[in-house]
Structure 1
Amino acid sequence: MANASSKRIAAANETALRNLVRNMVIINVLALAVRWMKARRHVRPLWPSGFPLFLNVIGFIAVLFIWRWFAAIGTPRRDASGIKVGDDLGGKGIVELAWDVIYMTWICTLGSALLGNWVWWLYLAIPGFGAYKVFGIAQPFLAMFMPGIFGPKAPKGAAADTPAAGAAAAGEPGESKRQAKLRARMEKGDKRVQQQTRRQAQ
């Protein structure tokens, strides 16, 4: 079972690395082609200037860096003892966040070429998602020091379901909901309740 799992992870890692290189080339060539066509048609510069150019370069470098890191940790190595499987590139945690950075970079690279440089604002989703994940990890520790703010919240209906709350709602201590309904009907003059009360008294 362990050997089969190792082979599956090794095959999945090799496929992921091949697809990563192929998609990286396709996305950047497409973005360059779109920018070239728009530059010829609308007489615009081929490359963006200023901060959008900086974001394009940083995004490309980030994807290259992640690809090299994935290749270092995920490439299976074969020797005389067999296959040594690296880390699972489909795993959770930092690997999952790295894939999110790659996908968001590709969306912004191609989207900025097609729609405009404003698409790079979507890049803010990466630190926002990272902050959300960090908060999820830190929340139990924060709840120890500030339970009123970060501690577990009681369900809204929980207070009404307790016996004390039912008695308080009924108006008399120790009175059930059924008894409270019968008393309310008796106060209204319901004859059926009065007859039932007489039978119980007899």
Structure 2
Amino acid sequence: MAKKAAKTLAARNTAILNRTRVLTIGFHLFYLTLRCLVFRTSLTHNSLLIWILLSLPSLFIQFQFERIGRPTFGTAPGELLRSGDDLEAQGLTEYMWDVLYWTYGCVALAAVLGDVAWWLWGVIPIYSVYLAYTTFMGARGGMQSLAGGTDSAGTPQAGSKRQQKMEKRGGQKQLYR
């Protein structure tokens, strides 16, 4: 069983990418079908332009997932050349899935409710700013504690438990600047 983990990852990535492709085609066909057949009067050039512009980021994300996650196989049967990156990874990949699924929801709501539902797509930049802020503040707090900053109560932190015990006994006190 050589490369079992790589083969498992390749099979999982293939299943995820195939499911994502079907979902994307399904949601966009749902939008076009409802807008062209059921709500014909609401289909204008502006609504098509909005649909295309706000769907481009999700289509770009899906293209990136295909590029980095799709496994490549050799000419021999079962020969795996590259399993692809893990599409269930934390961090940026997770955020890209959030954008993709949120866009699916916006496309479905815009198909049913009209162009007003596209305003929900504005949540994505707000969420991005929130994530960037919390990441920055977390990293900033981590750097302060490493540099001998203060704890949540505003008192200086000792470098180790040994130093804290020595300070309690009244022996060698550390001076903090």
Q: Shared fold (TM-score greater than 0.5)?
A: yes
In structure 2, how many angstroms separate the alpha carbons of the residues matched to 1:67 and 1:73? 10
In structure 1, how many angstroms separate the alpha carbons of the residues matched to 2:103 and 2:138? 32
In structure 2, how many angstroms separate the alpha carbons of the residues matched to 1:141 and 1:63? 29
What is the total number of aligned residue pairs between the two structures?
Answer: 144
Could you report, residue by residue, the CA deviation over 1:79-134 in whole angstroms, capped at 9, with x for unpaired residues? 37744211111111111111111111111112012012221122122122222221
The more displaced of 121-130 and 1-10 is 1-10
Which runs of 5 or more structure 1 residues have no equivalent in the other structure? Answer: 146-150, 155-202
**RMSD of aligned alpha carbons:** 2.6
Structure of higher CA gyration radius: 1
Distance 1:47 1:103, change over 3 A: farther
Q: Is the 8 A contact 1:35 1:47 kept in 2?
A: no
Which runs of 5 or more structure 2 residues have no equivalent in the other structure? Answer: 145-149, 154-177
- Match in the other structure for 1:38: 38
Higher relative contact order (CA 8 A, sep 6+): 2
Q: Is the 8 A contact 2:73 2:81 kept in 1?
A: yes
Q: Which has the higher helix share?
A: 1
In structure 2, how many angstroms separate the alpha carbons of the residues matched to 1:95 and 1:33? 31
In structure 1, how many angstroms separate the alpha carbons of the residues matched to 2:105 and 2:39? 20
**Structure 1 residue 30: Cα displacement:** 0.9
Percent of residue pairs bearing the same amino acid type: 30
| TM-score (norm. length: structure 2) | 0.69
| TM-score (norm. length: structure 1) | 0.61
In structure 1, how many angstroms separate the alpha carbons of the residues matched to 2:138 and 2:22? 42
Map 1:26-65 → 2, pairs under 5 A = 26-40=26-40, 44-47=41-44, 49=46, 52-65=47-60
